[in-house]
Amino acid sequence: MNFRPIRSLGGLFAALAVSCAGAAGGELPYFEDLPQVLTASRLPQPLHEAPGAVTVIDRETILATGYRDLARVFRLVPGMQVGQERGHAQWVTYHGLSNDNPTEMQVLIDGRSVITASAFGGVDWSALPLTLDEIDRIEIVRGTNASSFGANAFLGVINIITRHSSAGARESALVRTGTSGVRDAVASWSGGGENLSLRISAASQRDDGFDDLNDRRRIAKASVRSDWQPSPQDSLLLRAAATTGRRGEGYPDSMFGNNAPRDTDTDAHTLHLQWRHSPGAGEEWLVNYYRNHERITDEWVSSAPPLFPVVPLDRSRESERDDIELQHRSTPSPTLQLVWGGEARRDRVDSPFLVFSGNPHPQYLYRLFGNVEWRVLAPLTLNLGGAHEKYSGEPGRFSPRAFANWQATPDDTLRLGYSRAWRQRIPFELFGDIRATDPASGAVLVRPFLPNPDLRQTRIDAVELGYFGRFETWSTTLDVRAFNEDIRDFIVRVPQADPDPAPLLSPSRCPPGQLGLGSTRYENLDRPLTLRGIEYQLITRPRPGTELRIAHSLIDRRSGERDIGDRSAPYTASVSWLQDYGGGWTSMLSVLRSGPLAGGDGYVPSFRYVARPYTTVDVSIRYATRLGGTPLTFAITALNLGDEHQEIADRTEQALPAHREHPANLATRSVYFTASVALD
């Protein structure tokens, strides 16, 4: 297994002590077996030569966790802040800050962006048309990477790389059952010859979510991947996938039923085509085309008695994205490799209730990018890159990056770099205009969102100082990242004066003593927001069969407003122990710690709420054996074994008097049993 990656600095000093002890043991070229990564610069580079901090999570590590949901894996990555508002709702960010639907990290599957083009943006993690069995590895770039993957790589990149269709068992099946109504099933089949192969995967995921919430999940997924190599120089990849499902949302006591209990339906499908041409050593042409389509049905009825007993609400939305990209990589000399390319994209959004004035016009993106790696001296490598992007209605933006990696000894590498990025504005921030009306008279009752087409793109300038070392003592690796991230024009939701004419339930028209619902819109913060800190990831093997992993992050948040700084946890940490006992028995135990965090859903003016710090424990025990030559695996997994805790709050619910002092959505302990079989 290869996992490339405490609340005090003592943990860091202890890790550095291990490093120093290892360095004294000799100067062996331990970097020879480090994995090569592509996501940092789109160039194949050993981990220690990448322009930035990169964590690699391989297939074996994902299986060892026993997790059902991919998003939970990222809790083991330094700097990642992950939480659940309910069982199926995952909030995944790097360094926090995000609103209801995080868009500050680019998320890719085989190079295809899965950030939805819909009004709210973000990634629907539980509905991704992907099974965990399909994943070969995940590369996480921890830091701004717009020069390689555009504006959504504002704070980093998650690149999920699936297995070749000929890899793995010919047939496999998995069943899972447990508490909270867990009932899962996964099956796959693969076949073909040397040059043409096919894999078909299908999965069903069912559970009842967190206790005391309308939180059930019924998701079905299917995917097909085919790989064809018509010649030694050419290969073609086709992947088609679809998801359909129903999930519970809302709270029974929400104000006026503005977030009443209901079920939402999801239908999504994607098509991805990729052609790779390698005319010679060190040269490659790559063409990607993909189409994503998503439809969310989210309708319910609220009420404002006694005058307005029935008020229909509708957050339904549909989106389409078409994207084509060309990339060329070459190696002009032994000390120089470069990549350049271009991308064109079209997004269409249909959400009439969310945009009262009518759906926005299709949004277009055009982007040119390039990266160069130049080995100036044997121990010194420079990485220079940049991207020029043009969005509909925006001036062109240039995002540069410059990094220097100095291999001071065969065991120790230092890196120093600067990068800039511009965050893409999502449609709802620009055009969101919700007007709930009385069905009888057509009068506007509330208008919670107002549009702001003049919203500016948020900019980040990031400086990073890093260290990567590998040491003979306990076969230890250590990656340290110190960072300063200066963010300008950060986007926040701000209360507004009642529009003209004022809605009937606005504060200015409500009688004394009755709570009204005012208007808000998204605006740019008028002062800089700065995140400074240090994070590290450590893996060590004190004895055969034992691995210990530590991921730890400390962040100093400076914004001039507590409410903004609260959206980033000041610290996160994870400590994992993996043990191979022999005889087919293995286990993984993870202790997860998160600092106070105000990320999540909802908005109430003048109401400040921060979820308390918590520590929780996950454990999975596996046994692999054979029956008549057939591989069988059994596992039991338990999540959230620590104290009861809240991770992400819905602030509109939390603001109600009944919840002011008590969390409205406690995370639920879960225990489940898994059995799987593979036929070669």
pLDDT in tens, 411-458: 999 999 999 999 988 889 999 999 988 888 888 988 989 999 999 999
3-state helix, strand, coil in the chain (%, to 5): 10, 55, 35
Average pLDDT over residues 75-99: 92
DSSP state of 485: E
Residue 66's pLDDT is: 97
Closest C-alpha among 99, 91, 259 to residue 648: 91
Q: Residue 501 — pLDDT band, cuts 50, 70, 90?
A: confident
Distance CA 194, CA 352 (A): 50
Mind listing the pLDDT tens digit for each residue in 108-141? 999 999 998 887 888 999 999 999 999 999 999 9
- The percentage of residues in the chain with a pLDDT greater than 90, rounded to a whole number, is 73
Identify whether the C-beta of residue 447 lies closer than 8 Å to the C-beta of residue 435: yes
Average pLDDT over residues 256-284: 95
Average pLDDT over residues 277-291: 96
Q: What is the pTM of this model?
A: 0.93
Identify whether the C-beta of residue 353 lies closer than 8 Å to the C-beta of residue 434: yes
Residue 270's pLDDT is: 97
Mind listing the pLDDT tens digit for each residue in 177-219? 999 999 999 999 999 988 999 999 999 999 999 999 999 999 9
User: What's the start-to-end Cα distance of the chain, in Å?
Assistant: 22
Average pLDDT over residues 569-596: 97
Residue 27 has pLDDT above 70, yes or no: no
Residue 3 has pLDDT above 60, yes or no: no
Residue 565 has pLDDT above 80, yes or no: yes
C-alpha neighbours within 13 Å on the C-beta side of residue 227: 15
Residue 514's pLDDT is: 62
Q: Which alpha helices (DSSP H) does 423-522 contain, by range?
A: 427-431
Residue 600's pLDDT is: 62
Closest C-alpha among 342, 269, 256 to residue 300: 256
Residue 4's pLDDT is: 37
Average pLDDT over residues 54-60: 95
